[in-house]
Amino acid sequence: MSGSRTKARATELEPVPWVNAPSERRVRAERRVGLERRAADRRGARRRDDEAAAVAERRSGERRAGARRVAEGAPSAAQAPGFVERRVLVLATLLLLLYGLVMAYSASTAQAYFTYGSASYLLLRQLIFAFIGVGAMVVLARVDYAVWRRFAGPFYAAAGALCVLALVPGIGMEIRGARRWLDVAGQSLQPSEIAKLAVVCFLAATIARVPRTLGTAGGFVRLVVLGVFPFAIVVGLLQKDLGTTLVLCVGAVAVLIAGGARWRHLVALGLAGPLLVGALILAEPYRMERIVAFIDPWAYAQTSGFQATQSLLSIASGRVFGVGLGNSVQKFGYLPDQTTDMITAIIGEELGLVGLLVLIGLYVFLAWSAYRVALACREPFGKLLAVGITSLIVGQAFINIGAALSVVPLTGVPLPLVSLGGTSLVLVLAGIGILLNIATNRRSHIVVSTRRSDGPARRGGDRRAPVAGAGRRG
Amino acid sequence: MKSRAGGRRAAARSGAKRRSGRRPVARGDGRIRLLRVLAVVAFLLVGGRAIALASSAGDLTSIAAGQQQSTHTLPAHRGAIYDRDGKELAVGEQRETVYATPYLVDDPYEVAGDLCRVLKIRSRPEQRRIVEELSDKGSGFCFIARKVDPARAARAVKLDIPGVGSYAEEKRVYPLKGVAAQVIGYAGIDNVGLAGVEKQYEATLRGGDGSETVVRDTEGRTIRVLETKKSAAGSSLRLTIDADIQYEAEQVLRRTVTGFAAKAGMAVVLDPRTGEVLAMANYPLVEDNVYGAEPAYERNRPVTDAYEPGSIFKAVTISGALSDGLTTPRTKYHLAPTIKVADREIHEAHARGSVTYTTRDILVHSSNVGAVTLGLDMGKTRLLKWVDKFGFGKPTGIDFPGEVAGIVPREWSGSTIGNLPLGQGIAVTPLQMAVAFGVLANRGMWVQPHLTAQIDDDVLPRAKRRRVVTAKVARQMLSMLTDAVDEGTGTEARIAGYKVAGKTGTAQKPLADGSGYSKYAYVASFVGVMPADHPKLVVLVSIDEPHPIWGGVVAAPAVRQIAAFALTHLEIAP
């Protein structure tokens, strides 16, 4: 316990430093102290483990140790840090995955049958990817997320390289006039999906390392220009993948917000957004049609508003309870991209409003528990990474469902965990694996546990408040 | 602004110091909570939109249904047409119609080439039409080939060209290849009766079309059937026509018309007791039921065309005179070689001197002067009365479309009384003439002629009938007409073993300009009733512009041949 006290003192002296950035001197000092603190963290952790019971020592998975540590001070194991979040997150993820497999099967049968001669061809493919993805999730849930901070830079560079590679004729696959895919052992791989994670990871790592710079205009601009612009240009302008760019921006902006960027900088960035959109429209005039078609899809029902109106028709045909699982008619060629970008519309048609609300409800659960992971995490990088990954998934889900309902313009992004598509599914599950690790990694709860052990010594009444603040209230 | 922010920061700093660093963490958490709330609000927004859409889906649902569903008719099986013995005259045969969806076709030439090869479409214009229609990208439907052999259509569909499909259709076929073609008429490509019995009984034969509402994919493949209204098969018809007699009549007409270098011929075989038409033949024939070559001869002219009957009509004049008691078969008349009526002089067909003829002789030798003499005795009113009673000037009411009434003069000129008794200046249909002789054959009873004996299982009720002359007059007439065959103008109609009654007619054709009669164009006719003492058949043959012109030479042998066959075929005892 003495080690813990040492740690706690350090924390008391130096407030967790990654939100406000008063001065450069302070930043440097804190960075120094921060490094010391991290060292102390490691020492403290080791010491606590030494002090733990022999039984616990023998079973010392990192996760178990964390849970036990909390159990010491908390009334029940259910209140172990990250326990509830992990449960809900895993549940929501698996339910969405299952939902997705069922719906992707239903939506893909016709296409699979007429194209590949077997109604279950695309389902089997998706099942394989689901296994790979769940495997990735399980593995990553056990990999200390600190790895992502250490390799954020290389990861970022590699993702960028892959995105550029996809543009190179001969290496990148061209599908429907767009070069977004790489051919990896006969499977198409979409590097922009990796890029989303890489950008979020890079931003989180940079902000966590140099927290105060985000508070300055120069630091903010540097971060945006370095972290977001390259991919916005490669993915958005060159790959013409507006949807993925949008999702990437949502994730990046979420990290910036949570990382403590000044509102006025964010507002300025928000104002720059329309300019960017204007530039994109100038680059590809068809996007103007998309936007006009978004405002009044029925006026362009046969041209640029086709997909939007067909989506609305699908959902409307489903009414409240849907036409029944597998009974969609729109999937027989009326609704383009019925297995990917438009899977929501098929859900609406087959399972009706009820199916849509269940879908949305599952995402709300996912969002709630995933943001709770971020809230519960006391460590800046983990917190920001959790916010970023969560926002990527949630933002993409919203853009997809919103597009199907004509709430947001159609940009063409898959519905995370649900749509057919290998890269997307594996990477979303991998992202959730990282979230799970953040939820239970002891690194995330060091502040909490020290404070709790410190609490009773000061005053009994405040005993559980920090725990609640970290775990339950979040 | 700057100072305020700075102050806040300072406060935060001091707060952080005071409360173990919770404040900054809490502020970062506040932003995450904000993101979380934003996410939830965003999902609530789409959820609300979904609810709004589901609760006002009506219009959209119908638009969706409109693009997904299509209703097509299930054509009813068209009732077959049989002859009196059940031989198939017209039946529906199952065929397939191959269609394409032009906007789904990428290469019209290639697709047209493949389809034409498989479907064996060899006609150049047809191939051109297919390419043209396939090239029309705005079109969603075009026929490739209608009503082709199902196996061939299956091969075309098997090519698996997007948008190419087939559906079942019935093709009307006429197994007897043109026998009774003008009577049966025909049904068009859409299986609607356009002529003849097919047209007359359209409603009966047609049945009730069903319909099927299906959900289709964008390539027109049926995904599922929503609603099926079964079609009700049309009723079948059994005609009174006897296909064998019909065939024989047509062949006899062919021989007669070609043998006497005539233009055309008609024949009617009637059962006088029932009004059943056993045969109604037209020459030229419509071979294989292929219509459109010679529309004038594709009508069923015994019903649709009226002509001046000539001497045959004398039977009507004399029946009337007998019925009115103005004469008896034995009443004698002194007849000059010619007789003058108003401005016109009536001659005999073969010049002779003055003779004394009984009424019987007048009929047997077909004396024009004698007939006019009787007509003059009767006068306009009586003559018209008998013309009307025998049913001339109005349709017989046979179940056949386009029947004409014929023309009976009501405003008479001075010479009309000298024309009408001979069958001039009046237009009748061959059927009316045959039915009039049917009156004499049926003991004075007029029976409405008809072509249909049975619809499905319903045997049609006995035909309408009415008395025209007494049985005695009818018997007297038949007796005289038998003599006409035995020793008069109609000797060529004699059939060994049977007593045949009959009357010849050799009518000048009126000129087209209405100025008078042709000196060269005649219609040769003969009506026979057989067996004369218990009549079962009336056979009329009328040959247009034969050479020679005489009914007794041209038409009487034709009647004999048809009647001889019919008597044998129907096993009618002498």
Tally the domains of chain A. 2
| Chain A residues inside the 8 Å CB shell of B48 | none
| Chain A residues inside the 8 Å CB shell of B34 | 257
The three-point CA angle A110-A114-A117 to 5° equals 110
Percent share of chain A, pLDDT over 90? 25
Across the interface, do B22 and A466 touch by the CB < 8 Å criterion? yes
pLDDT at B317 over 50: yes
Inform me whether the C-beta atom of residue B456 falls under 8 Å from chain A C-beta atoms. no
pLDDT at B51 over 60: yes
Which pLDDT belongs to residue A36?
52
Backbone angles phi, psi at B169, to 5 degrees: -140, 155
Query: What residue numbers bound the domain in which A48 lies?
Result: 2-81
Inform me whether the C-beta atom of residue B34 falls under 8 Å from chain A C-beta atoms. yes
Look at A69 and B521; give whichever has higher pLDDT.
B521
Query: pLDDT band at residue A73, thresholds of 50, 70 and 90?
Result: very low
Exposed / middle / buried, residue B463 (Cβ in 10 Å: 0-12, 13-18, 19+): middle
Query: pLDDT band at residue A473, thresholds of 50, 70 and 90?
Result: very low
Residue A461: inside a domain: no
Give pLDDT tens digits for A398-454.
Answer: 999 999 998 888 888 899 999 988 888 999 999 999 999 998 887 776 654 333 333
* Domain identity same for A141 and A230: yes
Q: Residue B430's closest CA among B530, B275, B314, B540? A: B540
pLDDT at B37 over 60: yes
> Cα separations (Å) of A420 from A103, A284, A375, A413?
9, 27, 31, 11
* Domain identity same for A28 and A88: no
In this structure, how many other beta carbons lie within 10 angstroms of the beta carbon of residue A371? 27
Angle between helices A422-440 and A343-376 (to 10 degrees): 20
| Residue B283 β-bridge partners | B265
A261-270, A447-456, B558-567: least confident range:
A447-456
Query: pLDDT band at residue B259, thresholds of 50, 70 and 90?
Result: very high
**Helix (H), strand (E), coil (C) string for B372-391:** HHHHHHHHHHHHHHHHHHCC
Distance of CA B527 to the CA centre of its chain: 26
pLDDT at B323 over 60: yes
Query: pLDDT band at residue A41, thresholds of 50, 70 and 90?
Result: low
* Domain identity same for A297 and A328: yes
Task: Kindly list the domain boundaries of chain B, sorted by start residue.
Answer: 71-239, 243-290+299-569
Residues A411 and A280 sit within 8 Å (Cβ to Cβ)? no
Mean of pLDDT over chain A:
77
Across the interface, do B40 and A367 touch by the CB < 8 Å criterion? yes
* Domain identity same for A25 and A124: no
Query: pLDDT band at residue B190, thresholds of 50, 70 and 90?
Result: confident
Residue A92: inside a domain: yes
Residue A467: inside a domain: no
Backbone angles phi, psi at B314, to 5 degrees: -55, -30
Across the interface, do B47 and A316 touch by the CB < 8 Å criterion? no
CATH number of B243-290+299-569: 3.40.710.10
User: Architecture of domain B71-239 in CATH?
Assistant: Alpha-Beta Complex (3.90)
Look at A99 and A307; give whichever has higher pLDDT.
A99
* Domain identity same for A188 and A76: no
Across the interface, do B46 and A332 touch by the CB < 8 Å criterion? no
A153-157, A172-176, A293-297: least confident range:
A172-176
| Chain A residues inside the 8 Å CB shell of B16 | 15
Which member of B12, B25, B32 has the closest CB to residue A371? B32
Give pLDDT tens digits for A48-69.
Answer: 444 443 334 344 444 444 444 4
pLDDT at A16 over 70: no
Q: In this predicted complex, what is the ipTM?
A: 0.78
| Chain A residues inside the 8 Å CB shell of B13 | 15, 20, 22
Residue A455: inside a domain: no
Q: Which of A87-101, A323-337, B207-221 has the highest mean pLDDT?
A: A87-101
Residue in this structure with the two tokens 């939007």, named with its chain if needed: A308
Across the interface, do A364 and B20 touch by the CB < 8 Å criterion? no
Residue A179: inside a domain: yes
Look at B553 and A234; give whichever has higher pLDDT.
B553
Percent share of chain B, pLDDT over 90? 54
Last residue of a domain, one of A59, A81, A103: A81
Mean of pLDDT over chain B:
88
Q: Residue A62's closest CA among A406, A446, A408, A447? A: A446
Which B-chain residues 214-273 have CB contacts (< 8 A) with chain A? Answer: 215-219, 221, 223
Look at A104 and A455; give whichever has higher pLDDT.
A104
A153-157, A393-397, A440-444: least confident range:
A440-444
Which pLDDT belongs to residue B15?
39
In this structure, how many other beta carbons lie within 10 angstroms of the beta carbon of residue A93? 27
Across the interface, do A398 and B47 touch by the CB < 8 Å criterion? no
Give pLDDT tens digits for B65-121.
Answer: 888 888 888 888 899 999 999 999 999 888 899 988 888 888 888 889 999 999 998
How much is the average pLDDT of A88-103? 92
Across the interface, do B218 and A334 touch by the CB < 8 Å criterion? yes
Across the interface, do B43 and A348 touch by the CB < 8 Å criterion? no
Which pLDDT belongs to residue A18?
42
Across the interface, do B223 and A387 touch by the CB < 8 Å criterion? no
| Chain B residues inside the 8 Å CB shell of A333 | 217-219
* Domain identity same for A73 and A110: no
Residue in this structure with the two tokens 């006995």, named with its chain if needed: B462
Exposed / middle / buried, residue B47 (Cβ in 10 Å: 0-12, 13-18, 19+): buried
* Domain identity same for A99 and A75: no
Give pLDDT tens digits for B295-309.
Answer: 888 899 999 999 999
Q: Which of A110-124, A268-282, A340-354 has the highest mean pLDDT?
A: A340-354
How much is the average pLDDT of A270-287? 76
Which member of B13, B49, B67 has the closest CB to residue A407? B49
Which member of A16, A314, A391 has the closest CB to residue B24? A16
Which pLDDT belongs to residue B27?
54
| Chain A residues inside the 8 Å CB shell of B61 | 316-317, 319
Residue A26 CA to residue A20 CA, distance in Å, equals 10
pLDDT at A78 over 60: no
Across the interface, do B46 and A319 touch by the CB < 8 Å criterion? no
* Cis amide prior to A81 (ω within 30 degrees): no
Residue A471: inside a domain: no
Which pLDDT belongs to residue A400?
93
Backbone angles phi, psi at B355, to 5 degrees: -140, 165
Residue A460: inside a domain: no
Across the interface, do A356 and B50 touch by the CB < 8 Å criterion? yes
* Domain identity same for A25 and A100: no
* Domain identity same for A151 and A126: yes
Which member of A16, A332, A401 has the closest CB to residue B25? A16
Across the interface, do A317 and B43 touch by the CB < 8 Å criterion? no
A197-206, A270-279, B16-25, B123-132: least confident range:
B16-25
Residue A418: inside a domain: yes
> Cα separations (Å) of A72 from A67, A84, A375, B457?
9, 17, 22, 97
Distance of CA A112 to the CA centre of its chain: 30
Which B-chain residues 53-92 have CB contacts (< 8 A) with chain A? Answer: 53-54, 57, 60-61, 63-65, 67-68
A28-37, A233-242, B506-515: least confident range:
A28-37
